[in-house]
Amino acid sequence: MDGAPAGLPVIDVDAVRRVLEEYAERGWTDGLPVMPVTESYLAEFLEQTSRGPDEVLLSMPHLNRACTVRVAAINAAMAGCRPEYFPVVLAAWSALEAEGYVTRGIWQSTTGTAPMLLVNGPIREQLGLNSKGNVFGSGFRANATIGRAIRLTAINAFGLRPRELDQATQGNPAKYTACIAENEEESPWPPFHVEHGFDASESTVTAMTMRSVVHIEARHTTVPEQLGRDLADTVRRTGALIHETISACIALGPEHASLFAGAGWTKDDVRRFVYEHAVNSREALAAVGKDAVSGKTRWRLSSEHPDATADTAAEQGSGNVVSVLNSEQAVQIVVAGAQNAGVSAVIETFGPRGGPPATATVESASA
């Protein structure tokens, strides 16, 4: 065939392939192909922010490494972001820094956590961020590439390559990308960011350090207490316990959120119910060898272990009931997913067990 079909640009496919292979050979990818970045393409990203390209976004002193706005932009472009997504990526870095675990080496841990980003506000609609059907799944460029921008930066700016500085035993699928938006339109409650003091007209990114997303089936019930116990039962599972307590973000499907709200429950009511019911008996903990804590690390272990000492619940004389949450604030609640089934999820987080979430505002386009 001579030439390209009329109306299509002429490109040298071999040249594109050579560029992609070059990026892969240099170890600049997460295993998937990345978008090649030129200075002119990079400039389009940098135009999206008032922050200077050399401004440091986040430092990891223990690695002697830092990430600048410019490096974050390069990786966002490589991840496949459109330039207008970049303010969300920048807000994600601010939220990750505020969250605090990242700068203390959590991305190197054997636990294998991934950053989970939650987006609120008008930017969701502007960028086409998915908050509804398949919210944790694939198919939406903004979600896919904003989350991936963080991973590529972890690899390329901080050198956190698997089996090297990243010692994850198994990791989890969210290490490719994990960015959801809240389904504010189908939530019966104020949006997550409004609940935490932001204006509804602001856009925000909240960062969490997640270990897993646990699916909950509860299509059968219209009784809020039954649904609440199903959620609490998932939150309390003993397999989640390495420390004395845990934290969680419950992503309620709109149907479940409506069930609670229809019964007159506020978000705080759900939070309180889960807090009160996310408990294990002393026997259940003993059965898995987690009925005490190490006197050195405070990690859970058997009361028969030579380092064992009483856990906080025992010290406080709580009898046979051992809570996995240290406060109601250790449970965050968002609404996400489609209004089509009684399905929710518990995002198991490694993070603040109480206190406010790590949320940052997205710089507006007019800045």
Partner 1 sequence: MLERAGVPTVSICTDAFVVPARAMADVYGAPEFEFVTIPHPIASLSPPQIEANVRPVITEVVRILAGG
Enumerate binding residues for partner 1 (CB under 8 A): 63-65, 108, 159, 163-167, 306
Apex CA 102: angle with CA 80 and CA 76, to 5°?
10
Asked whether 154 and 28 are in contact (CB, 8 A), the reply is no
Nearest approach in angstroms of CB 124 to partner 1 is 38
For residues 250 and 271, is the Cβ–Cβ distance under 8 A? no
Strands annotated E in the chain: 56-60, 65-68, 114-120, 179-181, 204-217, 247-252, 279-281, 292-294, 300-301, 308-309, 321-323, 331-335, 343-349, 358-361
Residues in the chain: 367
Nearest distance from C-beta of residue 266 to partner 1, angstroms? 42
Residue 287 CB, shortest distance to partner 1, in Å, is 17
- Minimum CB distance to partner 1 smaller for 124 or for 175: 175
Other beta carbons within 10 angstroms of residue 14's beta carbon come to 8
- CB closer to partner 1, 31 vs 306: 306
- Do the strands 292-294 and 65-68 form a parallel or antiparallel pair, or are they unpaired? unpaired
The token pair that represents 120 in the structure block: 């609120």
Q: Which of 193, 116, 195 lies closest to 359 in space, CA to CA?
A: 193
Q: How far is the CB of 324 from partner 1 (least distance, A)?
A: 21
Between 36 and 289, whose beta carbon lies closer to partner 1?
289
Shortest reach from residue 268's CB to partner 1, in Å: 38
Q: Minimum distance from CB of 161 to partner 1 (Å)?
A: 8
For tokens 């008008």, what's the residue? 122
Closer CB to partner 1, residue 33 or residue 159?
Answer: 159
- Residue closer to partner 1, measured from CB, 165 or 314: 165
- State the burial class of residue 201 (Cβ atoms within 10 Å of its Cβ: 0-12, 13-18, 19+): exposed
Minimum Å gap between C-beta 298 and partner 1 is 14
DSSP string, 272-288: HHHHHH-EEEHHHHHHT
For partner 1, give the closer residue by CB, 162 or 342. Answer: 162
Beta carbon nearer to partner 1, 36 or 159: 159
Type of residue numbered 75: N
Q: Shortest approach of partner 1 to residue 165 CB, angstroms?
A: 5
Which C-beta is closer to partner 1: that of 125 or that of 304? 304
